[in-house]
Every structure is written in C-alpha cells, then in structure tokens.
C-alpha cells in the first residue's frame, strides 16, 4: 500500500522501486500501526487470491478477468492522488496506482471491520477494467468519441460488470477459503455480505445523479441487491450469473435487462409512474425506497 488511508504523502511514480515482495506497499515516511496492519491483511488476502486463481477459474472463467491483471501487475499497488482516474497501470514496473482520494472517501463510508474487503473490492473492480481494455482515460475518451451518450452508457455497463466481477470473485474466494470446495450456500452468503456491507457503502461514497447511465448502474445494482437478498434469506437459487443492466424507453413504459451483453428480458411493459418514482429516488440517493420500487416492478414482470 503506497499511502496510508489516514495520511497521504506521495512520491513521484518514477521513484518507486520495480520489485517488492509484497503486493500492497507503503512509501509514506510515517505509517501508523493501523495502516501497517491493514497493509498486512491486504497483502495476505491478495496472495491467497492468487493461490486460488486456477481453482476460481475452474468454478467460473469470468474470475480470470480479475486474476489475470493481478498476476500481470504483480509488483503491487500504489496509492496516490490522481486527478480524474480511478486507477493508472504502469506496464514498465508492473504496478497499479489506485486513486488515494477515492480510498479516503471509502474510509468515510465503510465500517472499519470491512475496510480491508472494501479495498479489495476497489482493487478487483479496477483490475477488471484492464481486462475490458479500458486501462487508461484515453481508452474511455475514444469510446465516447463515437458518441458521448453511447460511450457513457457503455462505460456505465462496464462499471456495473466490474462491480459484479469484484464481489463475485471475492465471494468465491472467501467460500473456497472457508470450505475448500464449491458450496452454493456459502457462496451466496458471502455474496450477500460483500454486496450489502461493502458495495452498498461504496455506492453511498460515490452517489448517482440524473444522468441516465448513472441511474442505470444504480438500478442494476439495486435489482441485483434484491435478488441476492432473496437467495440468501430464502435459500433460493441466485437468479443471475453476471451483471444486470437495465434499458428503458423515453416514455418509461418498457424495460429490458441485459446480462453480460445478452438479453435476459426484452421490451417488457412496465408501470411508467413506478419507473419515474424509482428513478427520482435514485437521483436523490434514496436507495432503500428505490429498491422497494424495483422489487414491486420486478414482481410485475413476466416470468423469466
């Protein structure tokens, strides 16, 4: 870990040594005991994840979208303040810079006992963008060059996929760590814990707006949250195997759901007043009310 989460004292990237036996490293001149303990926990978890990478891929090849970048950038993670980027890979010394400003924001929202897992989620989320070939801000700008609206929505869809991949991969890892083999019930339990205890706090740390792509991401997140809760509390099968990306019309009278780019639900009629209420609640950060509306809307949709 390059910087403590309680203090930021960055060095230029070119001053960073190319090799270090740990994944998260610290370059602050004064590290607190809390930060050192956090770094130790993060390093331990990343080493364990990489040790389980092959088994994770056997259970679900999607996990390689995270473990392969982590393996490539094996010299570690550096926390530094970045202007607009969440992450910045360095291929010359095989490190990843994570934006310390975002990390500090997370510490304000995430309960202390879940902080190390939230940092793992953040790392896995950003690592998956490397697999998606949006390593740099220039890649995003080129995507938006086709059309800003199209590019923003595509980036929102990739972000939601990264949210899913991070929580999914870590849940499988924690399951393997606990049970040594695949156990559906344990996987769903961990997915519920990570999604509700960590990802929900991260959602609060980076609120939505009235931009449609932002609303789509939160809508998809809340829909998945409802289904994860149902699977965990009711011991039901999980109803999805990838992110759930919603698309609606201007009239808000119909809804489609895509999962990993494939249509899960196509052009189903919905209550436009309920849709408007849901989107209004998302825009002002009333996520519990929005989730309740999405649950009601989901019940009205045709059987899948």
Q: Are strands 254-259 and 77-80 parallel, antiparallel or unpaired?
A: unpaired
Band of residue 253 on the pLDDT scale cut at 50, 70, 90: very high
- 285 found inside a domain: yes
Pairwise CA distance, residues 51 & 256, whole Å: 39
- 34 found inside a domain: no
Over the Cα atoms of the chain, what is R_g? 19
* Statement: residue 139 has pLDDT above 90: no
User: What average pLDDT does range 24-40 have in this prediction?
Assistant: 59
- Of 72, 43, 61, the C-alpha closest to 169 is 61
pLDDT value for 103: 82
Band of residue 22 on the pLDDT scale cut at 50, 70, 90: low
List, for residues 59-75, the tens digit of each pLDDT value: 999 999 999 999 999 88
Q: pTM of the prediction? A: 0.87
- 240 found inside a domain: yes
pLDDT value for 14: 36
The structural domain count of the chain equals 1
List, for residues 67-124, the tens digit of each pLDDT value: 999 999 988 888 888 888 889 999 999 988 888 888 888 888 888 888 889 999 999 9
Give me the long-range contacts of 132-137 (CB less than 8 A, separation at least 24).
132/65, 132/158, 132/161, 132/162, 134/158, 135/89, 136/85, 136/88, 136/89, 137/84, 137/85
Q: 43 with 24: CB under 8 angstroms?
A: yes
pLDDT value for 304: 56
* Statement: residue 2 has pLDDT above 70: no
* Statement: residue 17 has pLDDT above 60: no
- Phi and psi at 269, nearest 5°, equal -65, 140
* Statement: residue 244 has pLDDT above 90: yes
DSSP code at position 260: T
pLDDT value for 184: 95
pLDDT value for 13: 36
pLDDT value for 207: 67
In a 3-state reduction of DSSP, which class is residue 74?
coil
User: What average pLDDT does range 120-145 have in this prediction?
Assistant: 90
In a 3-state reduction of DSSP, which class is residue 183?
coil
pLDDT value for 38: 77
Q: Residue 296's domain spans which residues?
A: 233-304
- 13 found inside a domain: no
Q: 183 with 174: CB under 8 angstroms?
A: no
pLDDT value for 247: 96
- 171 found inside a domain: no
Band of residue 25 on the pLDDT scale cut at 50, 70, 90: low
Which of 11-15, 43-47, 59-63, 129-133 shows the lowest per-residue confidence on average (mean pLDDT)? 11-15
């Amino acid at each position: 870990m390059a910087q403590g989460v309680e203090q930021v004292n960055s060095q230029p990237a070119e001053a960073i040594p190319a090799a270090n036996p740990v994944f998260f490293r610290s370059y602050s001149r004064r590290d607190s005991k809390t930060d050192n303990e956090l770094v130790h926990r993060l390093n331990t978890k990343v080493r364990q994840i990489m040790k389980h990478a092959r088994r994770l891929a056997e259970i679900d090849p999607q996990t390689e979208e995270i473990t392969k970048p982590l393996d490539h950038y094996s010299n570690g993670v550096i926390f530094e303040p970045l202007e607009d980027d969440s992450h910045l890979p360095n291929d010359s010394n095989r490190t990843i810079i994570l934006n310390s400003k975002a990390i500090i924001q997370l510490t304000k929202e995430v309960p202390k006992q879940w902080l190390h897992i939230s940092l793992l989620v953040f790392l896995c989320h950003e690592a998956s963008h490397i697999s998606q070939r949006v390593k740099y801000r220039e890649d995003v700008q080129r995507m938006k060059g086709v059309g800003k609206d199209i590019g923003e929505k595509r980036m929102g869809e990739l972000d939601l996929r990264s949210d899913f991949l991070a929580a999914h991969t870590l849940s499988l890892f924690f399951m393997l760590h606990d049970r040594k083999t695949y156990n559906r019930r344990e996987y769903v339990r961990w997915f519920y814990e990570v999604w509700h205890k960590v990802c929900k706090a991260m959602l609060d740390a980076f609120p939505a707006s009235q931009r449609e792509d932002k609303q789509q991401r939160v809508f998809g997140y809340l829909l998945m949250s409802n289904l994860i809760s149902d699977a965990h509390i009711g011991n039901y099968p999980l109803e999805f195997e990838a992110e759930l990306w919603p698309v609606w019309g201007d009239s808000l009278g119909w809804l489609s759901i895509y999962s990993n780019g494939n249509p899960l639900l196509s052009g189903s009629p919905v209550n436009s007043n309920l849709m408007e209420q849901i989107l209004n609640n998302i825009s002002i950060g009333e996520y519990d009310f929005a989730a309740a509306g999405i649950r009601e809307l989901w019940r009205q949709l045709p059987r899948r």
